[in-house]
Each structure stands twice: as C-alpha cells, then as structure tokens.
Amino acid sequence: MYFGLSEEQSFFQDNVKKYLEEHATIDKIKHIVSDDKNNLSAEIHQGLLNLGINGLLIPEEFGGLELDLLFAASVSEALGGGVSPTPFVAPYVMAPTAIKHAGSKIQQENYLSKIASNEYRFGVGFSEFIGKRNDTGITFSDNKLNGRAMFALDANDATHLLLANEKGEIFVTETKSSNMEIVNLTTVDKTRQYSEVICKNLEAEMLENSSVSEEPILKAIDAGRIMLAADSIGASQTMVNKAVDYAKERKQFGRPIGSFQAVKHMCAEMAADLEPCYALVWHAAHCHDHSPLEARFMACHAKAHVSEISKGIAKKSTEVHGGMGFTDLLGLHYWFKRIGLNRQILGSPELVREEAYRTQI
Amino acid sequence: MNLEYGPKYQDFTKEVQSFCKKYEGISFTDGSNNPLGSSGGSGGPQMSRSEWQKILIENGFFARSVPKEYGGYGGEEDILKSRIIATEFSKSKIPGAMGGQGIDMLVPTLLEMGTEEQKQAYIEPTLYGEMIWCQGYSEPNAGSDLASLQTKGELVGDEWIINGQKIWTSTAQYSQMCFCLVRTEPDAPKHAGISYLLIPMDTPGIEIRPLVDMTLKAGFNEVFFTDVKIPASNIVGKRGEGWAVANATLGHERGSLAPPDATMNRVNMLMQLMKEETLDGKPLIEHPIYRDRLMQIQGKVLAQQSHALRLLSAKLNPGTDVKIGKMIQKLTGTELRHELEGLAIDVMGEVGTLYEDSPHLRNDGTWQFIYMYFLGLIIGGGTSQIQKNIIAERGLGMPKEPKVERA
C-alpha cells in the first residue's frame, strides 16, 4: 500500500517547478499580463511542451505517455504554484479525456495523435452544460452550431475547440473558421485565457459517443475539476510559504511579526487547512482512473473543498503581508486571482456540492 | 498510488470478518465507564467486558504487539493489520477492546521506558482491564503551561512523600493507580525538575473530589495529595526525566482523539436522520441550506479520511515527510467533529436541544452530548491555540513568543 505521488510523479513535478522558477519569474508574469503582444507566454509554454505535458494522458497507441490523472494533478500543482501563464487544463487534460471517452476510434486516431504531436491544440467550452447562465447556449442541427459559449478555456491560441450543448453532446470545431468569433474576456486572472465563443452556422463534428450518455462529458469535467483543485493547492502552498517567510522577516515592535500569536496562528490555520487537501485531490485523481463508483463523488468534493480552503488562504496570506500584500509591487495578487478563478470555473462550490450529493442518491 | 493491501492481508481480512460474524450483536453484562464506549449490540452472545477483553487478546485483535510475557498477544507490530481490525470491527459494529489512559498511554510508556519489574507488575493487569489508571498531569495553575506544575515529591529514606493537587483527572474515582508528574527537583529548570511516578490510589492521604462538567455526565475529578507515601522504586525513568517520559506518549493521545472514520460514521448517521426527519412536511435533506451545510462537512471529513490514508502510508513507507501532517491531527479532528455534531443540532432546531431522558430524543440524545463533549476535547490535551503554536513553531519554524522575565 502506498498513498501519495510516485517517485516519477514527484520528479516530473520538481522539473516543472524548477523550470517555472527559472523561466516564469514574477517580472516576466508582470510583463505578460501588461502587454498582450509579447511572446513570453508562448516561450514558457514551449518549454513545458519540451517536457512533454501535451502527451501525458494520451494513450501510447496515439503517441502519448498514457499516464494516469494523478500524474497530471502533480503537474497542475506545480503550474498553480508558479502561476504559470500557460494553457494546461483544457488542451492537455479535458480535451484528451473527452475525446478518449466520447470519440469513435477514427476520431480518437484523428485528434489524440495530433494533440500528442502538438499539431492540434484544443480549447474547451463546457460552461453551458455545467450551468447555463441567462441567454447563453449552443444548438446543433444539420451539422451546424449556433449560439454562444461563455468562459471557454484556452481558446485564443487553439486550433480547435470542443464545445458542448446543454445535453452534454460534445462538438469539435475549428477556430480558423470565419463562422466562429472568439471574444477575449478580461477576468481578474490574467495568467490564463477565458473567452466567449460565438457560433454562426459553424461547421462542427459531434464526438460520436457523447450523444449516448453524459458519461464522457462528466468524465472530462471531473478531470478538469481535479486539475483546478490541484492548481489551487499549488497556488495556496505558495501563498502560505510567502506568508510564513514574510512573517519571519518583517519586524514591528522590535520583533518579527511571526512571533505574535495573532499572526502565527493565521499561518498555522492555513497550513492545517491546506495539508489534508493534498490527500483529497490525490485520492480523487486516483479514483478517477481506478475506482469509477467513487470517482464523481470524490472529484466534486475535491473541487468544492479545495475552493473553500484556498479562498481562505488567499485572504489570510494577503493579510499577513499587511499593506504590501495589497500592492502590485509584491505581486501576491496573481495567486489570489488564480485561486479566485479556479473557484468559479467548471462549477462554483455550491453547484459542485449539489452534484456531490446527487451522486449519493 | 496503490491502495491495495496485498494477498496476505486479504486472508487476514477474511479471518477478522469471520471472527466478527461469530460475535455479531455481542452485548455486555456490565456497563461501560466511558460514556462514548459502546455497551454492545443485541441478539448476540452475552459476556462481561473483561471476558471480551480476554477473547480479543487471545485472538490477537488487541494488544497485538505487546510481548506474551507481559500478557499481550506477542505478534509482530503490523499497522495494516491493526487498521483492518479497526475497520472490520467498525463495519460489523463489534465493540473494540476497553481503552482508557492506562492502556493507551501507560502501557506504551512502560514498554519503552519501564523497568522489568514494572513491566511484569503493571502491563498484564492493565491490558485485562483489572487495573485502571488515571493520569495525574494538569494542575489548577499548570494547564497549557504544564511544565510549571508544582505538586511536590520529596525522597525521604526509601519513600517519596507527595503533596499537591491535580485536576481534570478522568476516571480517578475508578482507578487503582495513577501515573503522575511530580516536581522532585525544585532547584532544576522547570522541564528538568519533574519525575514520572506511579501512585496506588488507595494510599492514605489521597482525596478525590468529583468535578462535574457541562455535559453533566462525563466525570473529571480533582485529586488532592497530602503526605502521600509511595516506594522510591515507583518511578519511570530517572529523577528529573519525567517530562521526556510523558512526552513519549503524549503525541499518541493527540492523534487518536478524533479519528476521521468515526466522524464519517456520524456524517452518515446524520444524513440518515435528515432523510427521516421532516420540517414543514419535507425531509430535512430536501432543504437546500441544510443539505449544503451537510455536504460542506462531508467534504471536510473526506479530506481528513484521505489524509489519514496518507499518514498510514507514511508509517509503512519510512522516509515520507508528513511532519506537519501529523501535527494538525488533534486540531482539525476535534474541531471538525464538534462542528458536525453542532450541525445536527441546527438541522433539528428545538428538537436538537432535547437532553438526558427527555421524550422525543433523536439518536439517544448523542448529538447534543457529543457536541459538548468535544468542546472538552478541543480544550483538553493541549487546546486548539496550543496546537496552533506547535504547528507554527515546530512545523513552520516561526519564532517563539519572547519569554517574559519572572518578577
């Protein structure tokens, strides 16, 4: 019996961490978010592609590494820890998972092998299935898509998008089509891309098995939720570490502020809240591949619980830093905002907990 | 990640399961002193608690790794087997062995640090429930700052003469023996002046006064020592080493106060109750606000259960770093259990406040009782605030509070 990351997983995770520490410094991130014409994000992304992040979940027969979701979760932790300004959840986790479960053999062959070879990159827009707001939504008839999908993930530099309608049917579309308009949405989190996708008679191909049941799209959403939870753990851990380091150094009233119980107890609470999150997310990732009966239940709880804990840590860590925590100078807010987005996308805590309940009846 | 225990343990699981089947519904002819202890089920074999204890030891389901010569089963220490036993007993609602501070704290201490005579004299009767122990640690002026304790022990001839007062002493009124921290070296620095003494409770000069707590059920005591004389040999470790002796087992107590599997059992009980109880004609579980609160807590307990698996794995695979992981157990476990029991009271509203032998009690009034009882556990054994100091200072390496000069 062994519960935790394997040696390979820890090793790969360390490599991603080291790479980001070197190449995605806070100065570069500030540069990336303030100027959308620079190429820095693509350069950082290329470095991660060199490590092989696009092929993690793709079966060997299609040229991938065929690793399990826990492996991807360990990577996601590292990306969140370094607020990596690169796509991951949509192109390398949700899209491969959706295509693997919903695609016909031919569709799998077509798309998975090209994700592995980095010829295709997918963005994902499933928000209308998870929780349709107001007048958004997509309809499919005569092989054409019409309507709007909100908060599509990683759509800008993608060659293809997976879009879903309310029934959970999944469609492959090409971003180069003139019948698709991608509108950038500016959120507080500028380290990742969120878009509105407008389709007007857009040519689309349905992933064959996605009309049979909701299983495939739920599988992809669960995988995405576990990744977001892992990303938030990484971001939270960085925020805890920064708060602890700051509290040891910063002096007021002639002593380090970390010697005051008001401050050190906040740090202890953050650590005590965060520590069990690792096990929950690893366990959920493990169940996703190896324990189908518990998989949905675990994924929903992992997403909801980590969202709550991370929100608390984002606030407390900022407070421990005092006024400096509030500044752009320190840049702590990039982690705060990353956690804020992870909480809302693919289902906010109340919605996801309700799903967790539904799996039990 | 590999959550399988392996074939050797599958066989062992079957062995435990068939044992559980044989004793399904077991009940006891004598009551339990521990208000949280099970008094057994119904429809199965009947026996006394000490007979049950004997059966458990003989089968290796209790005191498994305690050597035979001291009354144990004499098996290898095996963490997975212990877990399988706990899991299967819990599943089939078979009561486990009697616990208590003698079994949980004194026996491991003696095994590690006791003399051969002490092991021979005390371990076996303690395991068999014939010798009950109480813990004499806290004093009125030594709570969170336990090492400042002042109960005095003076070696005169071949006897210790003990004077002072202990408080929060659970089960003192039933105990034959007390393991007690006493200041024997008044001139030494505070941690270095303490010895760990074993005191027979029928020694003249001991007075026990019950201290009723907010549950009106569980029993603490105050214990007063006036010229209490015990043999000089009733010391574990050397003079002045008592603090180290006590600390060898204090971590053990803290970790085991609120195991997450037990909390999850209560979550499941509460969910069942919420399906049966109605408010305005609708089951409580169908009220979205109550349901969401239950789901929030379920998520937290799930995290603690997964965390417990991680800690179990760390024990089996040495070299895994879970330092902070272990330190948070007492804080997070007791706080969460208290929160859960409180939620049950909230969803029942006025009905949740019914107590003792009132009509209309739900689940025997356990929700209200455990809600209060766990407030005691949040405070006892190192308060939540003390736990946060430990996590911050020893876990995160944060600076200590500057020492205040003595006036």
> Could you tell me which of A2, A158, A5 has the C-alpha nearest to residue A77?
A5
Q: What average pLDDT score do residues B311-335 get?
A: 92
pLDDT higher than threshold 70 for residue B253: no
Residues of B in contact with A272 (CB under 8 A): 324, 328, 331-332, 388, 391
Return the structure tokens found at A67: 């690793």
Record: contact B309-A279, CB cut-off 8 A: yes
> Could you tell me which of B151, B14, B180, B182 has the C-alpha nearest to residue B88?
B14
Nearest to A255 among B80, B385, B402 (CB): B402
Q: What is the pLDDT of residues B199-215, one digit of tens each?
A: 999 999 999 999 999 99
Answer whether B144's CB lies under 8 Å from B386's CB. yes
Asked: is A215-359 a CATH 1.20.140.10 domain? The reply is yes
Q: Looking at the complex, does the CB of residue B303 fall below 8 Å from at least one CB of chain A?
A: yes
Identify the bridge partners of residue B136 per DSSP, sorted by sequence position.
B180
Cα(B83)–Cα(B77) distance, rounded to whole angstroms? 12
Q: What average pLDDT score do residues B64-80 get?
A: 93
* Sequence ranges of the domains in chain A: 7-116, 122-210, 215-359
Return the structure tokens found at A190: 């500028």
Residues of B in contact with A271 (CB under 8 A): 324, 328, 391-392, 395-396
* Tokens 């200041």, located at residue: B183
Nearest to A272 among B298, B328, B397 (CB): B328
* Tokens 């991608």, located at residue: A182
Tell me the residues of chain B between 319 and 378 that have a Cβ less than 8 Å away from chain A.
Answer: 320, 324-325, 328, 331-332
Nearest to A267 among B304, B392, B400 (CB): B392
* Tokens 């020492």, located at residue: B403
0.90 exceeded by pTM: yes
Return the structure tokens found at B136: 């004499």
Enter the CATH code of domain A7-116. Answer: 1.10.540.10
Answer whether A300's CB lies under 8 Å from A283's CB. no
Nearest to B1 among A3, A271, A350 (CB): A3
pLDDT for the residue B134: 95
Q: Looking at the complex, does the CB of residue A258 fall below 8 Å from at least one CB of chain B?
A: yes
Terminal Cα distance for chain B, rounded: 56
pLDDT for the residue B407: 55
Record: contact B2-A275, CB cut-off 8 A: no
The DSSP result for A292-344, as a single string, is: HHHHHHHHHHHHHHHHHHHHHHHHHHHHHTGGGGGSTTT-THHHHHHHHHHHH
Q: What is the pLDDT of residues B135-171, one digit of tens each?
A: 999 999 999 899 999 999 999 999 999 999 999 999 9
Residues of B in contact with A354 (CB under 8 A): 288, 291-292, 295
Cα(A281)–Cα(A288) distance, rounded to whole angstroms? 10
The three-state secondary structure class of B131 is coil
The CATH topology of domain A122-210 is Butyryl-CoA Dehydrogenase, subunit A; domain 2 (2.40.110)
Record: contact B398-A244, CB cut-off 8 A: yes
pLDDT higher than threshold 70 for residue B37: no
Q: Looking at the complex, does the CB of residue A251 fall below 8 Å from at least one CB of chain B?
A: no
> Could you tell me which of B267, B125, B78 has the C-alpha nearest to residue B86?
B78
Residues of A in contact with B325 (CB under 8 A): 275
User: Which pLDDT band, with edges at 50, 70 and 90, does B38 fall under?
Assistant: low
Return the structure tokens found at B42: 């119904």
The DSSP result for B248-302, as a single string, is: HHHHHHHHTSS-HHHHHHHHHHHHHHHHH-EETTEEGGGSHHHHHHHHHHHHHHH
More confident residue, A184 or B249: A184
Residues of A in contact with B331 (CB under 8 A): 268, 272
Nearest CA in chain A to B385: A265
Q: Determine the distance in angstroms separating the CA of B42 from the nearest CA of chain A, rounded to an integer.
A: 30
Tell me the residues of chain A between 307 and 326 that have a Cβ less than 8 Å away from chain B.
Answer: 308
Q: Determine the distance in angstroms separating the CA of B71 from the nearest CA of chain A, rounded to an integer.
A: 31
A122-210 and A215-359, same CATH topology? no
Terminal Cα distance for chain A, rounded: 31
Answer whether A193's CB lies under 8 Å from A168's CB. no
Nearest to B299 among A6, A247, A301 (CB): A301
pLDDT for the residue B29: 86
Nearest CA in chain B to A304: B299
Q: Determine the distance in angstroms separating the CA of B180 from the nearest CA of chain A, rounded to an integer.
A: 31
Nearest CA in chain A to B260: A276
Residues of A in contact with B302 (CB under 8 A): 280, 298, 301, 305
pLDDT for the residue B27: 87
Q: Looking at the complex, does the CB of residue A292 fall below 8 Å from at least one CB of chain B?
A: no
Q: Determine the distance in angstroms separating the CA of B9 from the nearest CA of chain A, rounded to an integer.
A: 11
Answer whether B269's CB lies under 8 Å from B347's CB. no
pLDDT for the residue B254: 56
Record: contact B388-A268, CB cut-off 8 A: yes
Tell me the residues of chain B between 166 and 195 that have a Cβ less than 8 Å away from chain A.
Answer: none
Return the structure tokens found at A237: 């851990």
pLDDT higher than threshold 70 for residue B245: yes
Amino acid at B356: E
Q: Looking at the complex, does the CB of residue B80 fall below 8 Å from at least one CB of chain A?
A: yes
Record: contact A304-B6, CB cut-off 8 A: no
Answer whether A97's CB lies under 8 Å from A88's CB. no
pLDDT for the residue B321: 83
pLDDT higher than threshold 60 for residue B325: yes
In whole angstroms, how far apart are CA B169 and each of A58, A265, B139, B211, B244? 61, 29, 9, 9, 20
Cα(B393)–Cα(B401) distance, rounded to whole angstroms? 10
Length of chain A: 361
Cβ neighbour number for residue B405 with a 10 Å cutoff: 5
User: Which pLDDT band, with edges at 50, 70 and 90, does B255 fall under?
Assistant: low
> Could you tell me which of A91, A101, A5, A12 has the C-alpha nearest to residue A45?
A91
Question: Is B253 noted as a catalytic residue in this protein?
Answer: yes
The residue among B396, B400, B403, B404 with the most chain A CBs within 10 A of its CB, best to mutate, is: B396
pLDDT along chain A (361 residues), means of 10: 96 98 95 85 96 97 97 98 97 98 97 97 96 93 96 96 97 97 96 96 97 97 98 98 98 96 98 98 98 96 98 98 95 98 98 97 89
- Residue of B154, B185, B253, B335 marked active site: B253
Cα(B330)–Cα(B378) distance, rounded to whole angstroms? 8
Q: Determine the distance in angstroms separating the CA of B163 from the nearest CA of chain A, rounded to an integer.
A: 35
Query: CB burial class (10 A; 0-12, 13-18, 19+) of residue A105?
Result: exposed
> Could you tell me which of A243, A232, A160, A235 has the C-alpha nearest to residue A203?
A160
Q: What average pLDDT score do residues B185-193 get?
A: 96
Record: contact B388-A279, CB cut-off 8 A: no
Nearest to B303 among A6, A261, A277 (CB): A277
pLDDT for the residue B41: 72
Nearest CA in chain A to B297: A305
Write down the mean pLDDT value for chain B: 92
Return the structure tokens found at B334: 């007791």
In whole angstroms, how far apart are CA A196 and each of A42, A124, B103, B313? 21, 11, 64, 45
Burial A164-196 (b: 16+ CB within 10 A, else e): bbeebbbbbbbbeeebbebeeeebebbbbbbbb
Nearest CA in chain B to A284: B306
pLDDT for the residue A231: 98
Nearest to B398 among A247, A277, A356 (CB): A247
Record: contact A353-B388, CB cut-off 8 A: no
pLDDT for the residue B161: 98
pLDDT for the residue B34: 43
pLDDT for the residue A100: 98
User: Which pLDDT band, with edges at 50, 70 and 90, does B42 fall under?
Assistant: confident
Compute the count of residue pairs across chains A and B with CB atoms less than 8 Å apart. 148
pLDDT for the residue B218: 62
Record: contact A301-B302, CB cut-off 8 A: yes
Q: What average pLDDT score do residues B340-344 get?
A: 98
ipTM of the complex: 0.96
Nearest CA in chain B to A300: B299
Q: Determine the distance in angstroms separating the CA of A356 from the nearest CA of chain B, rounded to an integer.
A: 8
Q: Are strands B177-183 and B133-136 parallel, antiparallel or unpaired?
A: parallel
Record: contact B332-A272, CB cut-off 8 A: yes
The radius of gyration of chain B's CA atoms, rounded to the nearest angstrom, is 23
Nearest to A276 among B271, B303, B401 (CB): B303
Record: contact B401-A280, CB cut-off 8 A: no
